[in-house]
Structures are given as C-alpha cells and as structure tokens.
Amino acid sequence: MEAARPPQTQAVPPSYQGRPEGPAAAALLATGVGSLVLAILVVIAEANESFAMSLAYSDRVGPLSGKTIWAVVAYFGSWAILAVALRGRRMNLGVVAIVAGVLLALALVGTFSPFFELFKPD
C-alpha cells in the first residue's frame, strides 16, 4: 500500500521581495523627465521668440511641434537609458515616487499658462 504523501505546495521563501523595483523606477522617473522637458521648452519658447520659431518643425502646427517632439524624445530616451541603468536593481520605490512627483509638479506648473506667460517679453 502506497504511503500518503504530503500535498504539493510551492512555498514562498521568507526572503521573497517581489520583482526588482529598477524597471518601475525607470518608468516613473522617465515620466517626470519627459514632462519636465516639455515644461522647460514651453517656458524658454515663451521667453524667446527666435527659440520658439526654431521649434516650429511644422508650419501648420508651429512651435508646439518641436516642444512635443523633444518632450517625447526625452521621455522615451530617458526611459531607455534608465531601464538599462536600473535593470534588476532593488530600490526604494517610495523615494523614487517622491522624486518623480516633484518633477511632475514642476512640469505642471511650467505648462500652466499664467505661469509661463510671466516670461513673455514685453
């Protein structure tokens, strides 16, 4: 007669910490970087007409074309670089979220029209 075997279970090791935070941190920080680059371009373009016109890659869209293209390049570019740099790294996601939150807050202020219009030359 076959002896009763204990049920097959897959125990979670006590040291289980879940997936590494690096890739999540890269995505979070890239969001902040892309948004902030957009805000910086908006403010500089408002302050300097010739800079704004240099961003007008499309006559129909105007300077918004360059601002958004560069913001998207900064977003995906910083994400790619950070993803490689932080791959497999364990990090404090709370601290990363605070840093990304500060970048995003600055970006939201920088893209708020009453703020960036303060830089408009008289």
Q: Footprint of other proteins on this chain (CB under 8 A)?
A: 18-19, 23-24, 27-28, 30-31, 34-35, 38-39, 42, 58, 60-62, 64-65, 67-68, 71, 75, 93-94, 97, 104, 107-108, 111-114, 116-117
Kindly report the backbone phi and psi dihedral angles of residue 27, in degrees, each rounded to the nearest multiple of 5, phi listed first: -65, -40
Q: CB nearer to other proteins: give 6 or 18.
A: 18
Amino acid at 118: L
**With respect to other proteins, which residue has the nearer C-beta, 54 or 112?**
112
Paired residues of 58 in beta bridges: 62
- Shortest gap between Cβ of 50 and other proteins (angstroms)? 19
Handedness of CA 113, 114, 116, 119 (dihedral sign): positive
Our CB check for other proteins shows the closer of 23 and 47 to be 23
Alpha helices in 4-92 (DSSP H): 22-47, 49-54, 63-85
State the Cα–Cα distance between residues 87 and 26, nearest whole angstrom: 9
Query: Which CB atom, from 7 or from 94, has the smaller least distance to other proteins?
Result: 94
Q: For the CB of residue 2, give the shortest distance to other proteins in the complex, in Å.
A: 30
